[in-house]
Amino acid sequence: MKFTAREDIEAPIAEVFAALTNYDGFERAAMRRGAEVVRETHKDAPSWQVAFTYRGKQRRLSIRQVTADPPGTLRFSASATSVEGELAVDIVELGRRRTRMTVVTEVKPRTLAARLFLQSLKLARGKVTRRYQTRVAQLAKMIEDKLRPPSSLV
């Protein structure tokens, strides 16, 4: 199952890339939501072991950065016992202070139970896609707000 979202951000491409690779901030945000996050750094590519509760069960997820090509591409792969997936973030400069971020997530089942779960998501695809696009829009807004120059008090 594949999800795609595109958002424009009022900030230079280099600053957007720096914000997207601020892994400490994303780790803290996950921990605030109750996840346990352990970062492992192998050469230049970080990876994470994440444990969290979803639908009443403890889940474990392994995430690995596959590619970080400044200033435009980030690729991650993730695997759990029942699913595996890929996350691709592409950023393109539209102007000096405007950047377009495209996020694509693809999830593939590994087990029959995961296949059934993904099939149920396909039945509610419109709702799930809107929620995905809303989360990407929230990420874009967070980056934009963080990078916005402070307004002068007059």
Residue 73 maps to which CATH number? 3.30.530.20
pLDDT for the residue 153: 52
Token pair for 70: 């400044």
- Does 114 fall in a domain? yes
**For the whole model, what pTM was predicted?**
0.85
In whole angstroms, give the CA distance from residue 28 to residue 43.
22
**Contact (CB, 8 A) for 24 and 116:** no
Mean pLDDT by 10 residues, the chain (154 residues): 95 93 91 92 84 90 92 94 95 93 96 92 92 95 85 54
**Residue indicated by tokens 């029942």:** 82
| Domain range for 35 | 2-146
- Does 152 fall in a domain? no
pLDDT for the residue 154: 52
